[in-house]
Structure 1
Amino acid sequence: MKPLNNAEALSAIKEAIIQIIPDADFTLVRPDDKFRDVLELDSLDFLSLVELLSERTGARIDEEDYPELTTLSAASRFLVDRTAARS
């Protein structure tokens, strides 16, 4: 897969979250908010999110990477960097 830009990464994150929580309201989430708290993702939801993001982007996401996936801005930055690194 090709490297993602920030908009593509953010879109992939939001699409994955909507697949897990169909009524997720992103108007409540600012870029630096901890989206797990705002959208009330539990730990199983978060693991599903990690799996979906990995499948959709081709990025390897290990457990030690989870702290990078706490806000929309950090998560999109992580995906941009991770997909660029493998190309």
Structure 2
Amino acid sequence: MPETLTNAQADQRVRAALRGFGSDAEVAALSSDEPLRSALELDSIDFLTFVERLSEVRGARIEEDDYPRLISIRSCVEFLLTR
């Protein structure tokens, strides 16, 4: 069973999952509500890699139906905390 995360921990995990798609400074500077795909210019493969990383944090596969819920850091954090 995956660990229970706090809001701050979930935010840190989402930002960690974004490493490599932008510099550490760019990822750290992202607003919680900024659209991730456009802010970091994520293509389809990059986004799938990000989803795989979040799946590891969550401890379960994230289904394609849930992808629209992963648009910003805030929405990703909420997704992780409600599962």
TM-score (norm: length of structure 2):
0.85
Q: What code does the residue aligned with 1:51 have?
A: E
C-alpha change, 1:56 and 1:41, in structure 2 (3 Å) is: same
Which residue identity lines up with residue 23 of structure 1 in the other structure?
S
Kept in 1, the 8 Å contact 2:22–2:40? The answer is no
Unaligned runs of 5+ in 1: 83-87
Aligned to 1:23: 23
The CA RMSD over aligned residues, in Å, is: 1.5
Task: Name the structure where helix makes up a greater proportion of residues.
Answer: 1
Structure 1: 4+ residue segments shifted above 2 A: none
Q: 1:31 to 1:17 in 2, by over 3 A?
A: same
Deviations 1:22-79 (A, max 9, x none): 515031x211110110111111000001111111331431000001100110110000
User: Is the Cα contact below 8 Å between 1:59 and 1:79 reproduced in 2?
Assistant: no
Distance 1:71 1:16, change over 3 A: same
- TM-score, normalised by the number of residues in structure 1: 0.82
Counterpart for residue 68 of structure 2: 67
> Identity over aligned residues, as a percent?
40
